[in-house]
Amino acid sequence: MSINLCWFRSDLRTHDNLALNAALAEGPVVALYIATPEQWQRHDDAPIKLDFWRRNLLTLEKSLKEISVPLVLCQVADYAAIPGLFEEIVRKWEVSSVYFNAEYPLHEARRDDDISLFCKAHDVNVKVSHDQCLLQPGSILNNSGLPFKVFTPYSRKCRSMLYVSETVESVCVSAPLAKPLATLDKQCRLDQIDWPEANSSWEILWPAGEKYAQDLLAKFCKNVVTDYKKQRDFPALDGTSTLSPWLNAGVLSIRDCWRKASTWHQGEGVETWKNELLWREFYRHIIFHFPHISQNKPFKTNQQHVPWRHDEKEFTRWCEGKTGIPIIDAAMRQLLETGWMHNRLRMVTAMFLSKHLLIDWRWGEKFFMQHLVDGDFSANNGGWQWSASTGTDSVPYFRVFNPVTQSKRFDGDGDFIRRFVPELNDLDKKSIHEPGLFKPDEYPLPLIDLKFGRERALNAFRV
Ligand SMILES: Cc1cc2nc3c(=O)[nH]c(=O)nc-3n(C[C@H](O)[C@H](O)[C@H](O)COP(=O)(O)OP(=O)(O)OC[C@H]3O[C@@H](n4cnc5c(N)ncnc54)[C@H](O)[C@@H]3O)c2cc1C
């Protein structure tokens, strides 16, 4: 009996999944998921994110069952151990083809290249689909045939090409397996995988499953997207989709988002939202073309001279939301409590760390990954390098956001600050943004004089 193996990674859904659809078209399908706890640790994957993935695997298993696809779970230490597992698979099972959706960060791309080579050497077909993006990274080039380094022309080119994108909506039922599969040495049940410890509140904050994600998308398209342009920068409002965790785990397809937003509405709200989806694509395109950024390096190699500080004490106060700058503390506490942070505040906190404190942006990038439920290497690295002015198309180094001004502008009534920094609850809407109004035993004194921090950053960046 010859089987088609569909290897799931960050595409935990049955709906509109290119690799799965391709496999189902060919005959009996077996789904495979490989847990790699040591790799998760090396990649700083947050416990909240891994718990979200675990719960989505549970719902995926059920959806796959409905289309007669068994899900086989295995655990190995890291990517280096995956070829060994495939050796056992091709020895024990009669595999005709392996299907998977490409992933673009350097380690994932190398892992996939290794498996493709292995399969070819063992007479097994490999079919790679490009499912994570609307347009395949590598396929969007400027008139000189080079990758774009600036977002606006990139997005214009994408939009001019997008009408040709194919969408695959349907999922058919797999042909049944003729006989049971031999068990693999590293095969395990979901509860036998070495997941980090989970908190019971995470399940309520971030429910699993394709149905939940589809409903959230529909609600956003129906009720929120028209006002997205006006509301998306105000963290106290529910002005953005909060779909990032489901998108990054692949519980929701990017094509679905694009299609549904376009079907429900037209206008500047939806166009602004689609632009954000293209930012997601842009950063994937960047990591595809410029692998040096996957090696802890700045995109702009001429920014290597910045004397980044490595002050553990100041960094810890930033991590804990105890800087004494109310909007920074509220944002960092939102991250610690919920595993998510509003986009405006990701920019404000990242810029505060990398500019006012001049602390190495890679420390912040790592800390975000260790706590975000939607942690995604390309978007996180892109966001950090944008804020630290080391990235492609990043903010110019002399445009340093003042966190107090940002706070007054985007949280005018202080509602967001009050939600996460209850010690400031009684302050009126004017004072709540200001650092230094409290005794140190009530709320920390500001970690830094903002004017001093800004000047120090400007001097450090100037060549
Ligand atoms: C320092 C920093 C770190 C970040 N880290 C991550 C991360 O680890 N994972 C992540 O998904 N996003 C990251 N972002 C981008 C952005 O903040 C989040 O995607 C967004 O806040 C998610 O909320 P949402 O789903 O409500 O977004 P919406 O505003 O509803 O946007 C829809 C989708 O578009 C994509 N998107 C939106 N803005 C961006 C952006 N600036 N860059 C890339 N994609 C975008 C996301 O997939 C998002 O879900 C980071 C941004 C910064 C500045």
**Ligand 1 contacts CB of residue 384 (under 6 A):** yes
- Same domain membership, residue 161 and residue 67: no
Separation CA 388–CA 382 (nearest Å): 10
CA 224–ligand 1 middle distance (angstroms): 17
Looking at residue 336, its pLDDT comes to: 98
With respect to residue 188, please indicate whether it lies within any of the assigned structural domains: no
| CB of 147 closer than 8 Å to CB of 35 | no
Atom of ligand 1 nearest to the CA of 380: 5
With respect to residue 366, please indicate whether it lies within any of the assigned structural domains: yes
Give me the phi and psi of 23, to 5 degrees please: -65, -45
With respect to residue 104, please indicate whether it lies within any of the assigned structural domains: yes
Domain containing 243 equals: 133-165+210-289
The strand pairing partners of 5, in sequence order, are 30, 98
From residue 270, alpha-carbon distances to 139, 214, 228, 273, 274 in Å are 25, 17, 7, 5, 6
- Same domain membership, residue 340 and residue 277: no
Cα angle, residue 326 at apex, residues 320 and 329 outer, rounded to 5°:
20
Separation CA 109–CA 102 (nearest Å): 8
Looking at residue 188, its pLDDT comes to: 98
Looking at residue 170, its pLDDT comes to: 65
CA 343–ligand 1 middle distance (angstroms): 6
**Ligand 1 contacts CB of residue 244 (under 6 A):** yes
| CB of 433 closer than 8 Å to CB of 403 | no
**Ligand 1 contacts CB of residue 406 (under 6 A):** no
Looking at residue 262, its pLDDT comes to: 83
- Same domain membership, residue 113 and residue 221: no
- Same domain membership, residue 438 and residue 328: yes
Which domain CATH number covers 51? 3.40.50.620
Nearest CA to ligand 1 atom 30: 241
- Same domain membership, residue 137 and residue 122: no
Quick: pLDDT tens for 58-82: 999 999 999 999 999 999 999 999 9
- As annotated, the active-site residues are 276, 279, 308, 343, 361, 384
- Same domain membership, residue 141 and residue 124: no
Nearest CA to ligand 1 atom 37: 276
With respect to residue 295, please indicate whether it lies within any of the assigned structural domains: no
Atom of ligand 1 nearest to the CA of 228: 29
With respect to residue 3, please indicate whether it lies within any of the assigned structural domains: yes
With respect to residue 204, please indicate whether it lies within any of the assigned structural domains: no
- Same domain membership, residue 384 and residue 316: yes
* Residue ranges in the chain whose pLDDT is less than 50: 164
- Strand 29-35: give its sheet, edge to edge: 71-75, 29-35, 3-8, 95-101, 125-129
Nearest CA to ligand 1 atom 38: 276
- Same domain membership, residue 283 and residue 150: yes
Looking at residue 302, its pLDDT comes to: 73
Atom of ligand 1 nearest to the CA of 386: 53
- Same domain membership, residue 451 and residue 369: yes
Q: How many domains does the chain have?
A: 3
Which domain CATH number covers 429? 1.10.579.10
Looking at residue 165, its pLDDT comes to: 55
**Ligand 1 contacts CB of residue 10 (under 6 A):** no
